[in-house]
């Protein structure tokens, strides 16, 4: 009887845990569904929803180890990035292919069977390993930087202005916004060359995709180091506001629903 009651309590606790997480999942859907176009943003955003949700689940599980928020985020971000590769890489392939179409517009449903028919299922995973090198450490660094910059900024503020009477909650919100923007910018600065090589491999039409090392060496020989930073400026300009809003909003709603 006691074992049955214990099992029921565990079941209800587990259900409550996931019910508690539903607001965060819904928030992900709200944050990332900013473009109603049929193809160009939504599939990628759905992949991001899953990565954010997986990250949050893993981070909660890591709480039992007594790690600080930054280190928990480093681990959970890397793991969520690795797990996300299964569905994120095909989306990246489809997105890259769609973006270079000049004469026609194709939805994911139209483009997917064409690629599979002409190039095989393996074409959906071109550049898989360079994607892993970009995204597995990339998501870890991204979430780590956000938590680290938040903690550092708040600690510095409290040291410099220990007795200042101000709206601390409002100031924390500004710190979170800035930490999110800087996390996005800094993570792109570190990982942008891998993104360039990843796109080069995914857009190649050779039967056998070029190796990552070959692309690095060949493009450096032909174009120099500047090739690996093409398009960096607009990416960074976009990265700050997008990540500032995304991370700070997710963080705020997450804490609001879990403050009890």
Instruction: Read off the pLDDT of residues 175-215 as tens digits, 9 standing for 90 and up.
Output: 999 999 999 999 999 999 999 998 888 888 777 788 889 99
135-146: average pLDDT: 94
DSSP string, the chain: -HHHHHHHHHHHHHHHHHHHHHHHHHHHHHHH-----TTTTHHHHHHHHHHHHHHHHHHHHGGGGT--HHHHHHHHHHHHHHHHHHHHHHHHHHHHHHHT--S----HHHHHHHHHHHH-GGGGGTTHHHHHHHHHHHHHHHHHHHHHHHHHHHHHHHHHSTT--S-HHHHHHHHHHHHHHHHHHHHHHHHHHHHHHHHHHHH--SSSPPPHHHHHHHHHHHH-GGGGGTTHHHHHHHHHHHHHHHHHHHHHHHHHHH--
Per-residue confidence (pLDDT) for residue 17, from 0 to 100: 41
Q: Residue 53 — very low, low, confident or very high, per pLDDT cuts 50/70/90?
A: confident
Query: Contact 116/123 with Cβ under 8 angstroms?
Result: yes
Q: Residue 21 — very low, low, confident or very high, per pLDDT cuts 50/70/90?
A: very low
Domain 2-258 falls in which CATH fold?
Answer: Mitochondrial carrier fold (1.50.40)
Q: Residue 22 — very low, low, confident or very high, per pLDDT cuts 50/70/90?
A: very low
Q: Which of 158, 175, 185 is nearest to 252 (CA)?
A: 175
pTM equals 0.78
What are the structural domain ranges in the chain?
2-258
Per-residue confidence (pLDDT) for residue 169, from 0 to 100: 63
Per-residue confidence (pLDDT) for residue 158, from 0 to 100: 84
Per-residue confidence (pLDDT) for residue 14, from 0 to 100: 40
Per-residue confidence (pLDDT) for residue 170, from 0 to 100: 66
Q: Residue 259 — very low, low, confident or very high, per pLDDT cuts 50/70/90?
A: low
If one compares 241 and 48, the residue with the highest pLDDT of the two is: 241
């Amino acid at each position: 009887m006691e074992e049955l009651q214990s099992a029921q309590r565990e079941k209800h606790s587990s259900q409550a845990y996931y019910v508690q997480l539903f607001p965060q999942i819904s928030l992900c859907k709200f944050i990332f569904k900013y473009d109603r176009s049929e193809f160009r943003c939504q599939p990628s955003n759905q992949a991001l929803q899953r990565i954010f949700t997986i990250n949050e689940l893993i981070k909660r599980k890591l709480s039992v180890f007594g790690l600080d928020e930054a280190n928990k985020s480093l681990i959970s971000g890397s793991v969520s990035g690795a797990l996300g590769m299964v569905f994120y890489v095909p989306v990246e392939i489809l997105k890259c292919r769609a973006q270079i179409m000049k004469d026609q517009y194709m939805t994911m449903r139209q483009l997917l069977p064409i690629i599979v028919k002409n190039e095989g299922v393996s074409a959906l995973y071109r550049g898989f390993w360079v994607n892993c090198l970009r995204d597995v450490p990339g998501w870890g660094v991204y979430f780590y930087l956000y938590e680290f910059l938040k903690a550092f900024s708040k600690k510095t503020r409290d040291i410099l202005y220990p007795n200042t009477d101000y709206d601390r909650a409002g100031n924390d919100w500004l710190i979170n916004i800035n930490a999110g923007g800087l996390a996005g910018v800094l993570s792109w600065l570190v990982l942008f060359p891998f993104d360039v090589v990843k796109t080069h491999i995914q857009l190649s039409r050779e039967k056998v995709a070029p190796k990552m090392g070959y692309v690095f060496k060949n493009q450096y020989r032909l174009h120099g180091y500047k090739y690996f930073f093409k398009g960096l400026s607009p990416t960074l300009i976009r990265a700050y506001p997008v990540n500032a809003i995304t991370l700070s909003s997710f963080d705020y709603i997450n804490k609001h629903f879990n403050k009890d």
